[in-house]
Amino acid sequence: MKLAFIIDPIHQLDPCHDTSVALIEAAQILGHEVWVTQGNLLSVVDSKAWAVLQRVEVVPVQLVEGRWIAANPWYKLSDSSFSSLETMDTVFIRTDPPVNDSYLYATYILDYIDQNKTLVINSPGGIRGANEKMYALQFIKAIPETIVSADKQFIRQFVEAKGAAVLKPLGNKAGEGILFLQSGDRNFNSIVELSTFQGRVPVMVQTYLPEAKEGDKRIILLNGEPIGALNRLSSGTDFRNNMATGGTVAQTEITPREDEICTQVADRLRQDGLIFVGIDVIGGYLTEVNVTSPTGIREIDRLDGTHLGHQVIQWIEQTIKSKK
């Protein structure tokens, strides 16, 4: 197969952490051609999506004494070529948020790929329709008590009723801008005013889950089915558990309640073309659905001895084979 990955500039990626690199590496090991591009290198020509592409070859990371070790340099790129994305068997959309205008325009361009010819993961329309915070709200039986608002007084009433809450900007990633709100905090007005841009932009506010101290679980779903999980733990100096904020990771298992949550979201994910997804669960509650560039494969593979990237690529192989 030929696979294209739409990613951030490859020199910015961490081969020991980034799931995009794990997927590229798995595809290469399984004998496939891999190409990379960026959202700003996409075009529409004759009503078809095209891209400036470079073939990439990576040196697989090695597990040494419980740590991934990468070669230096760890990748090699070919010269650029301008090609139709329909020459690819699969196109992965893996650009990190925020989902700003540039990101949205890239998804509109990718709509001009015939999915009968090329599998696109995740669906451009699915990504547009699935804000990673808001998407979870439809699964009422799975989420904690949550509001979305730019109204300072409404947010205050919610926090006072709950005692404590977590405020999340709707468009950020990796824990950026997430704040802890507590009833009686003298900084409350300033926090909400800054986060909502003086009441112009809504934010998500969720009741604080004390179980967050025990970790924030990331579960990877492939076509709606859970294939692996890890627990993310706070560094101790930050209430957030995100790896990007210094959190650590630990081995974990998927509980019956978490399996039930996966079942609740599976049909809707498939319906929306969201094939490779990471959901976040705290204390048995769904908090986010990550559809743009969910990560965690490297950490799960290291902790569990799995090869999730291979599993994803093999699923793609079977899916494409079944279409022919």
The residues near 96 (Cβ < 8 Å, ≥ 6 apart) are 8, 173, 292, 293
- Please state, in angstroms and rounded to a whole number, the distance separating the CA atoms of residues 256 and 114: 38
Which amino acid is located at 78 in the chain? S
The pair of structure tokens assigned to 95 is: 């650009």
Which own/partner pairs from 40-48 qualify as long-range (CB within 8 Å, at least 24 positions apart)?
Answer: 40/102, 40/106, 42/6, 42/106, 42/109, 42/110, 43/82, 43/109, 44/109, 44/112, 45/84, 47/112, 48/84, 48/85, 48/86, 48/112, 48/113
- Please state, in angstroms and rounded to a whole number, the distance separating the CA atoms of residues 218 and 252: 10
DSSP structural state of residue 28: H
Which amino acid is located at 54 in the chain? Q
- Please state, in angstroms and rounded to a whole number, the distance separating the CA atoms of residues 40 and 100: 12
Instruction: Report the greatest alpha carbon distance in the chain.
Output: 63
Which amino acid is located at 182 in the chain? Q
H-state helical runs in 138-235: 152-162, 188-195
Q: Which residues are catalytic?
A: 133, 168, 218, 232, 240, 280, 288, 290
Helix 308-323 vs helix 297-304: crossing angle, to nearest 10: 120
